[in-house]
Amino acid sequence: MSTVHLGLDTFGDVTHGEDGERVSDAQAIRDTVDQAVLADQVGLHFFGVGEHHRHEFAVSSPEIVLAAAAARTSDIRLGTAVTVLSSDDPVRVYERFATLDAVSRGRAEVILGRGSFIESFPLFGYDLKDYEVLFEEKLELFAELMAEKPVTWQGTTRAPLHEADVFPKTEGGLTAWVGVGGSPESVVRTARYGYGLMLAIIGGAPGRFRPYVDLFHRSLDSFGRDRLPIGIHSPGHIADTDEQAWEELYPAMEANRNAIGAERGWPPYSRLQFQHDVGPEGSVYAGSPERVAQKIADTVRTLGADRFDLKYSNGTLSHARMMHSIELYGTQVAPRVAELLAE
């Protein structure tokens, strides 16, 4: 099998220190930059930072955090997980990422999505009844901007453009993906506009996403496009042993899932559900380096993926434990995944 890239994603979760106290938003942001630096040092391929506008997560402007990381790293690619394009302006998003691409010397990527939260819509004056059309039109416009030529475009969600040129220009083009949570329509749309497909697999068996992979390939063929990459985004945590990883992760994941679940009417998160999630049929990649490597390799084979991004930040899980997880991911999991896929 061809080389599979391993990356990391974080939402900039506001964590608790080893003393159990909640850290400040500012400290969580500084910790996120330190985590990107370590990811670069241990040879990982990608570091992604999500955009959120709520109290559990410190990062609302990921491009600024990524620019700070760019100044302290040399090789790792830097991007979002995701940029909420629906409540932003495609022109400004492109300008910000073209700027990030410049300061990082060509390492910028953007993963576009609608996000799993809706706080940004009222915050920036958008009506949720326009949820679908906002994403459709803005994704179309962003695809045109990626050609880095004057754009003429008209829609219903922003002012029209006539021969509008956007600056700065990049030196080698911008890499862009679309984050998809399991909608066939979203898969087809991603192929139509020519973006990479990033599958957000955060529940259930990863193998159930195989039909979406097949649909993506068929859609690319029908639109006359060349093969485009497929990535996977899933949560997890690595420690020296399975038991240590599970005992560290469960309290943080329970608190996070229950806080969000209370808003959405989910049942309380339980140990039983957690044990299913970390098992072979679940989508949480937690345990020892060997266990996590085996599970990643199995998923990559099943889905034919080009990249796997571990969402390593999980609620209140401390910075120190996340740093250890990152170190193990780069030094032990990544080489072991390569060995398993070469067999």
In a domain, 122, yes or no: no
The token pair that represents 202 in the structure block? 């955060």
In a domain, 132, yes or no: no
CB within 8 Å of 121: residues ≥ 6 apart: 86, 87, 127, 128, 131
In this predicted model, what pLDDT tens digit does every residue of 197-245 receive, in sequence order?
999 999 999 999 999 999 999 999 999 999 999 999 999 999 999 999 9
The token pair that represents 1 in the structure block? 């099998």
The pLDDT of residue 334 is above 70: yes
DSSP string for residues in 2-62: ---EEEEEE--B--B-TTSPBPPHHHHHHHHHHHHHHHHHTT-SEEEE----STTB--S-H
pLDDT band at 2 (very low <50, low <70, confident <90, very high): low
CB within 8 Å of 60: residues ≥ 6 apart: 51, 52, 53
In this predicted model, what pLDDT tens digit does every residue of 60-98 receive, in sequence order?
999 999 999 999 999 999 999 999 999 999 999 999 999
- Give the residue numbers spanning the domain of 274: 5-84+92-110+180-342
At residue 158, the 3 state secondary structure works out as: coil
Comparing CA positions, the residue from 285, 287, 289, 314 lying closest to residue 300 is 285
In a domain, 57, yes or no: yes
pLDDT band at 312 (very low <50, low <70, confident <90, very high): very high
In a domain, 145, yes or no: no
Q: What is the pLDDT of residue 139?
A: 98
The token pair that represents 190 in the structure block? 């991603």
The pLDDT of residue 21 is above 90: yes
CATH code where residue 224 lies = 3.20.20.30
In this predicted model, what pLDDT tens digit does every residue of 155-181 receive, in sequence order?
999 999 999 999 999 999 999 999 999
CA–CA gap between residue 27 and residue 57 (Å, rounded): 12
Comparing CA positions, the residue from 324, 322, 295 lying closest to residue 232 is 295
Contact 315, 252 (CB under 8 A): yes
Residue recorded with tokens 């996590």 = 292
Amino acid at 159: A
Strand partners, 232: 199, 308
Sign of CA dihedral 111, 115, 119, 122: positive
Give Cα 25 distance to the centre of its chain.
Answer: 20
Q: What is the pLDDT of residue 1?
A: 53
pLDDT band at 115 (very low <50, low <70, confident <90, very high): confident
In this predicted model, what pLDDT tens digit does every residue of 272-299 receive, in sequence order?
999 999 999 999 999 999 999 999 999 9
Strand partners, 57: 13
Contact 111, 80 (CB under 8 A): yes
Which residue spans within the chain are E strands per DSSP?
A: 5-10, 46-49, 77-80, 83-84, 109-113, 151-153, 161-164, 175-180, 196-200, 230-238, 285-287, 307-311
Note the pTM of the prediction, 2 decimals. Answer: 0.97
The pLDDT of residue 7 is above 80: yes
In a domain, 263, yes or no: yes
Residue recorded with tokens 């949480």 = 284
- Give percent of the chain with pLDDT exceeding 90: 93
The pLDDT mean for the chain works out to 96
In a domain, 69, yes or no: yes
Contact 284, 204 (CB under 8 A): no
**Number of domains composing the chain:** 1
In a domain, 281, yes or no: yes
In this predicted model, what pLDDT tens digit does every residue of 123-161 receive, in sequence order?
999 999 999 999 999 999 999 999 999 999 999 999 999
In a domain, 338, yes or no: yes
Strand partners, 78: 47, 108
CA–CA gap between residue 26 and residue 221 (Å, rounded): 46
Contact 235, 311 (CB under 8 A): yes
